[in-house]
Amino acid sequence: MQCFYEHDSREIGLPMKFSVFLPPQALTGQAGGKVPALIYLAGLTCNEETFMAKAGAQRLASALGLALVAPDTSPRGANVAGEADSWDFGVGAGFYLDATEQPWSQHWRMESYLTAELLPLITGALPLDGGRIGLFGHSMGGHGALTLALRHPGLFKSLSAFAPICAPSQCPWGEKAFTGYLGADTSSWAAHDATALMNQIKSAPYPGGILIDQGLADKFLAEQLYPEQFEAACAAAGQPLTLRRHDGYDHGYYFIASFIADHLAHHARQLGLDSLSA
């Protein structure tokens, strides 16, 4: 069952939308009433519909008994001056953090929304197992998945990403977002930079491994993404990482659709599902 929801968000202070795919096991009680869930964080300009419409993940998730959840990428309807002036900042570009700078700090609270509000909401209202939640994402959402998983390791049992922004403190997208949301003091940025966070870790938070897929024909690879920096940080921390580089693949959803089965299988194993059943 593919579902779309809207609710009044306490953390955001505005209505927020999210989508949920429930496999048959969640509807028939085959899994003892609750199934594990995989939360997907989308990239710039996307919303709660993008992944569900484009990735082709539902058939395999159905076979695995895995729920899929996709929140929106930012608040909408705040009517903040300048919120829609740029495609890479403001609406559709929440960067999965809590803004500290005005006028963004009132509504742009995506980290608290996801971790303190949406997770309790969906695990309380839907047949989802709150002890078996995985996290993944694409591009800006890959940044969000890596940083939120490293900042809240107890919430998430598995982690992967497609073409994530791995060192946002050092790339134009991240510099623009962090300056606007967090301010010009760069000392606060490291707390939301996956490479910087991994460099601070003493032991592997995800011993089952992190999976990242990156297309080598991705036009954003050289200037925006920096997966090699996250790879080096993981090696230094002893964090198992599989970083796969694919010739000919770009940044779009055909790339995601090509490798979505591997990501679902990666999460299924770590969430206690039999990936071979698909």
Name the pTM for this structure: 0.96
Give the integer Cα–Cα distance in Å for 123 and 44. 26
User: Does residue 275 register a pLDDT over 80?
Assistant: no
Segment 229-242 mean pLDDT: 98
Segment 39-66 mean pLDDT: 98
pLDDT, tens digit (0-9, with 9 covering 90-100), for 59-115 = 999 999 999 999 999 999 999 999 999 999 999 999 999 999 999 999 999 999 999
14 touches 4 (CB < 8 A):
no
Nearest to 65 by CA among 246, 272, 245: 272
- Residues with Cβ within 8 Å of 181's Cβ and at least 6 positions away in sequence, in order, are 95, 97, 99, 100, 101, 104, 108
Residue 30 pLDDT level (bands cut at 50, 70, 90): low
Mean pLDDT across the chain:
96
Phi, psi at 251, each rounded to 5°: -95, 0
In one-letter notation, the amino acid at residue 33 is G
| Residue 5 CB burial class (10 angstroms; 0-12, 13-18, ≥19) | middle
pLDDT, tens digit (0-9, with 9 covering 90-100), for 133-148 = 999 999 999 999 999 9
User: Does residue 278 register a pLDDT over 50?
Assistant: no
Give the integer Cα–Cα distance in Å for 75 and 99. 12
Percent of the chain past pLDDT 90, that is, above it, reads: 95
Give the integer Cα–Cα distance in Å for 183 and 106. 15
Name the CA dihedral angle for 165, 191, 145, 151, rounded to a multiple of 10 degrees.
Answer: 160
Instruction: Between 203 and 240, name the one with better pLDDT.
Output: 240
Host H or E run for residue 262:
helix 253-270
Write down the pLDDT at residue 202: 86
Residue 276 pLDDT level (bands cut at 50, 70, 90): very low
Burial profile 154-184: b = 16 or more Cβ within 10 angstroms, e = fewer = ebbbbbbbbbbbbbbbbbebbebbbebbbee
Give the integer Cα–Cα distance in Å for 101 and 112. 16
Q: Is residue 103 reached through a cis peptide bond, with omega within 30 degrees of 0 on the bond before it?
A: yes
Residue 31 pLDDT level (bands cut at 50, 70, 90): low
Burial profile 238-259: b = 16 or more Cβ within 10 angstroms, e = fewer = ebebebeeeeebbbebebbeeb
Active site residues: 139, 218, 251
Write down the pLDDT at residue 69: 98
Write down the pLDDT at residue 33: 76
Residue 4 pLDDT level (bands cut at 50, 70, 90): very high
56 touches 158 (CB < 8 A):
no
User: Does residue 32 register a pLDDT over 70?
Assistant: no
